[in-house]
Amino acid sequence: MASLLFSLVSLMCMLLTQWLVVFAATKTIPNGFSVDLVHRDSPVSPLYNPLETPFDRFYNAYNRSISRINRFRPTYSKAFQSDIVADGGEYLMKISIGTPPVSVLGIADTGSDLTWVQCEPCEECYEQRDPLFDPKKSSTYKSVQCGTNPCNALDNSERVCDLEKNTCKYSYSYGDRSFTKGNIALEKFTVGVDSTRNQSRVSFPNLVFGCGHNNGGTFDDVGSGIIGLGGGPLSLVKQLAKSINGKFSYCLQAPDSAAKSSKLIFGTEKESIAVSSSTPLVERDPSTYYYVTLEAVSVGNKRLPYGGFSSSSAGKEGNIIIDSGTTLTFLQSEFYNSLESALEGAIKAKRVSDPKGLLSLCFEAAKDIHLPIITFHFSGGAEVKLQANNTFAQVQDDMVCLAIVPSNDIAILGNLAQTNFLVKYDLEERTVSFTPTDCANNH
């Protein structure tokens, strides 16, 4: 009887550990820590192609943006992962996993939750420059059992249970026929640079991630996988929520502004004295994405209400997603037509056609051209004033085009519009704020 009681207690303790371990990273980092974000087109990026012109890079980013918006189509089914485009991310981030630590380079993605990397043994893997992570060589790697919190946090369409070994597996298929499959596991993550400078890296045990043993498709060979920064329970920021007080932020600079990287900050490194605009985050399904409510857009002093269309969801709460992985900004099609008309009336320059036929509103880039400030008005009184370099792109030496495009689906505030803002997320207060910042000198 005593032996049976001991066995039951041991089993309960093991199960309780598996259920609670997803919340194990609870040490608070009082001053926060940061990590470099490298734009894929930055001169310091391993993906940088010196043979491409700035115009080539912009059009490539345009095509990636168009592909990526497929993942945000408002079906709001739990199978939303099926529309993801695998190489849609724009920023690369380096972390280390395991003991001893192995450095991995992944796509930092606010539109994904589960962090996953390619792992040995590899049934099928895409070509990768760096060595694959081998869980057998890590003393801190732990398999996750079926029926536990980390496993159940996956959607039914993504979760597979190995009944023979009682281990939890994941399976993601992407809209471009790329895929990743593997084991859900726990591992030690080492991230960033501590702002106190007392230690160079900050480590967290028992973080949930995907160890991919079967991966293929259009992934770039410089990357090991995806680092999920979305709002779902398995994302890196949600798993670190107690340690970073639910706060993270980033300050994005234009990829061609300097060879420096941008910054992703976990917690709060330093308080800004600049005035910021804050708006509520809206709960919507799927929880991965960061939804806010856009109420109006102004061109100069002309305010255009957003969402007065009976056939669209533009008037609903949470009608736009903030996404670091999309370059362009997408707005509801009917509203876009009004915005384009207002801009054409405000810009005293000759309208011309994009030679590639992709962008609708283009002008001759004369030296004296004046491009107006475009202000996004969000709920809660937040006003984000976008300068010309947030909303227009030079596509030829003598031509600029509006980098806002129409969409029949959910709207997206892309990373070009977020350039030179400190974008701060507070997942406890459920707010996001925008502070005008010179991100190139905010290091």
Residues 214 and 179: their CA atoms lie apart, in Å, by 8
Our separate counts of H helices and E strands in the chain read: 7, 29
pLDDT at 306: 94
Task: Judge whether 228 and 115 are in contact, CB under 8 Å.
Answer: yes
**Start-end ranges of CATH 2.40.70.10 in the chain?**
22-266, 277-441
Residues 380 and 78: their CA atoms lie apart, in Å, by 30
Q: Which residues contact 200 (CB under 8 A, 6 or more apart)?
A: 193, 194
Task: Judge whether 413 and 322 are in contact, CB under 8 Å.
Answer: yes
Token duo for residue 141: 């790697």
Per-residue buried b or exposed e for 126-138, using 16+ beta carbons within 10 Å of the residue's own CB? bebebebbebeeb
Q: Which of 105, 101, 67, 114 is closest to 86 using CA atoms? A: 67
The CATH homologous superfamily to which domain 22-266 belongs is: Acid Proteases (2.40.70.10)
pLDDT at 48: 79
pLDDT at 85: 39
Q: Tell me what percent of the chain is helix, strand and coil, each rounded to the nearest 5.
A: 20, 35, 45
Q: Which of 266, 230, 223 is closest to 36 using CA atoms? A: 266
Per-residue buried b or exposed e for 22-39, using 16+ beta carbons within 10 Å of the residue's own CB? bebbeeebeebbbbbbbb
Residue whose structure tokens are 């609670």: 20
CA distances from 20 to 35, 113, 151, 191, 206 (A): 27, 19, 12, 22, 10
DSSP state string for 247-277: EEEEE---TTT-S--EEEEES-S----S--E
175-222 confidence digits (pLDDT tens): 566 789 999 999 999 986 544 444 457 899 999 999 999 998 777 777
SS3 235: coil
31-79 confidence digits (pLDDT tens): 677 888 888 888 778 777 888 888 888 888 887 787 777 655 543 333 2
Q: Which residues contact 223 (CB under 8 A, 6 or more apart)?
A: 92, 105, 106, 107, 128
Residues of the chain with pLDDT under 50: 1-27, 74-88, 194-199, 310
The CATH homologous superfamily to which domain 277-441 belongs is: Acid Proteases (2.40.70.10)
Mind telling me the catalytic residues?
Answer: 109, 323
Residues 126 and 72: their CA atoms lie apart, in Å, by 25
Single-letter code of the amino acid located at 443: H
